[in-house]
Structure formats: structure tokens, C-alpha cells
């Protein structure tokens, strides 16, 4: 049984009696996954009791990759209900059963045959869970929870890889760092951190060969 099949399809090398296609019994064209088109060559009625001929009509093909397909949609269109589990499937005449769910469905879908032969399901847009929000809040507020403002300024400076103070002030005045709570250029000047990383990163190395005893032109560039 296939909930995605638009009609019943079977392989012609079957024991069922076949009716060749004709003007009165036209063939159907089916697009397969590799984009090729298969055309049916016969029809038959499946031996399923208690269903009208329009529900059991099946189109025959020379071969099908995964065997014959019984269309759930085509049968359900004739006042039937299918119930699937992880190990079985059962088809009932709809008036013969009563379904009383204990809880709301996990998801729901719709179908509009024959223009919409497949069942369409709209999955909900995933939202952040409370646990995720709490984790993000703890991370984003970690610096804000530091008790002293100068500690927060030093923390911001370290997270920015210890830039030169003048560069940091210019970026703050240009509002590039608006997401840093309570950060202003005035507070940077007031609580400017003395970072060893900044000092080491902006040292000027002494040029080599300033007092070389080698004759001119012998230095390697």
C-alpha cells in the first residue's frame, strides 16, 4: 500500500485478467524518479471485496521497481479509512468504525483529490525552547553580572582581542559596539584597561644589522 501513489499500479506479468488499453480504456502516463515517463498497457480490477470497480481499477505496466502499488488515496476516496501502525495496516469502510483519540494528534495534514492526490502536512516552525533561552541568557549576561564596572570594561576589551584604546573608542563612538551593555567611550577612558596583550602586540622590534661588522652589500635581504 502506498499513500503517495495517485492510482493503483500493477505489473502485467500477474495472474489477474488484463484488459488492453483502447480509446474506451485509455492508458495513463507516470513520471518515475529518473524523469522518464512510463505508459500503462492494460487495466484490471483488483479482487478486493466490498469495494466498487472504480476503487479497484489498476493500471498495468511491464515492470515496476518495487512491485505493484495499492493507492491508499484512491481507496479512501470511496468512503474508506486506513489505519497504519509500525507493523500493520488495516482498511475499513468508514461507517464501520469509530475512532476516538485519547489526545490531540502529533501533526495533521490535508488532501484534496484528485487535484491534490498526496497528503500535505505543514510542519510548525521550530521555536527556541525555554532551556535554550535560559542558556543563551546566562551566556549573554555573564559579563553584565560582574559586580564592578571596571571589570566589565576589562572583559569587553579582552573579548575584542585587546585593541588599541584609541581604536576601541573610535569604534564605540561609531556605534559599532552597541550590543555591549553600558559600554561608552567615556567609560573606556575612565576605566581603560592595561592589557599585556595590547602592549606586546604593539611593540616595535629593533631593526637588525644596525651595527653590523659585515661589509656593505653582503647582507641578505
Of 30, 26, 25, the C-alpha closest to 5 is 30
> What's the CA angle centered on 151, arms 145 and 156, to 5 degrees?
85
Degrees (nearest 5) of the Cα angle 152, 157, 163? 165
| Paired strand residues for 69 | 9
Asked if residues 156 and 183 have their Cβ atoms less than 8 Å apart, the reply is yes
DSSP H or E segment with residue 20? strand 19-20
Task: Work out the pLDDT band at 138, boundaries 50, 70, 90.
Answer: very low
Strand-pair partners of 81: 92
Can you tell me the distance from the alpha carbon of 83 to that of 89, in angstroms, rounded to the nearest whole number? 6
Name the band, by pLDDT with cuts 50, 70 and 90, for residue 153: confident
Residue 9 neighbours by CB distance under 10 Å? 21
What integer pLDDT is reported at residue 14 of this predicted model?
67
Report the alpha-carbon distance of residue 74 to residue 29 in Å, rounded.
Answer: 17
Tens of pLDDT, residue by residue over 72-115, are 999 999 999 999 988 899 999 999 999 999 999 888 888 887 77
Residues in the chain: 221
Q: Which of 43-47, 149-153, 159-163 has the highest mean pLDDT?
A: 43-47
Whole-number mean pLDDT of the chain? 81
Amino acid at each position: 500500500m502506498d499513500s503517495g501513489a495517485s492510482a493503483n499500479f500493477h505489473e502485467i506479468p500477474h495472474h489477474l485478467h488484463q484488459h488492453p488499453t483502447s480509446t474506451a480504456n485509455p492508458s495513463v502516463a507516470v513520471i518515475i524518479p529518473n524523469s522518464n515517463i512510463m505508459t500503462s498497457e492494460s487495466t484490471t480490477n483488483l479482487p478486493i471485496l466490498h469495494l466498487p470497480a472504480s476503487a479497484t481499477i489498476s493500471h498495468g505496466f511491464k515492470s515496476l521497481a518495487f512491485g505493484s502499488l495499492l493507492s491508499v488515496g484512491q481507496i479512501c476516496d470511496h468512503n474508506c479509512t486506513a489505519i497504519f501502525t509500525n507493523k500493520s495496516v488495516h482498511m475499513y469502510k468508514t461507517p464501520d468504525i469509530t475512532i476516538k483519540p485519547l489526545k490531540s494528534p502529533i501533526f495533521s495534514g490535508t488532501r484534496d483529490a484528485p487535484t491534490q492526490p498526496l497528503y500535505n502536512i505543514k510542519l510548525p516552525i521550530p521555536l527556541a525552547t525555554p532551556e535554550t533561552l535560559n542558556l543563551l541568557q546566562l551566556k549573554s549576561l555573564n559579563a553584565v553580572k560582574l559586580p564592578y564596572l571596571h571589570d566589565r570594561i576589562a572583559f569587553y576589551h579582552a573579548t575584542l582581542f585587546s585593541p588599541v584604546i584609541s581604536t576601541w573608542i573610535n569604534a564605540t563612538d561609531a556605534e559599532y559596539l552597541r550590543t555591549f551593555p553600558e559600554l561608552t567611550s567615556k567609560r573606556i577612558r575612565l576605566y581603560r584597561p592595561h592589557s599585556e596583550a595590547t602592549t606586546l602586540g604593539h611593540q616595535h622590534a629593533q631593526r637588525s644589522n644596525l651595527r653590523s661588522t659585515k661589509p656593505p652589500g653582503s647582507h641578505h635581504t
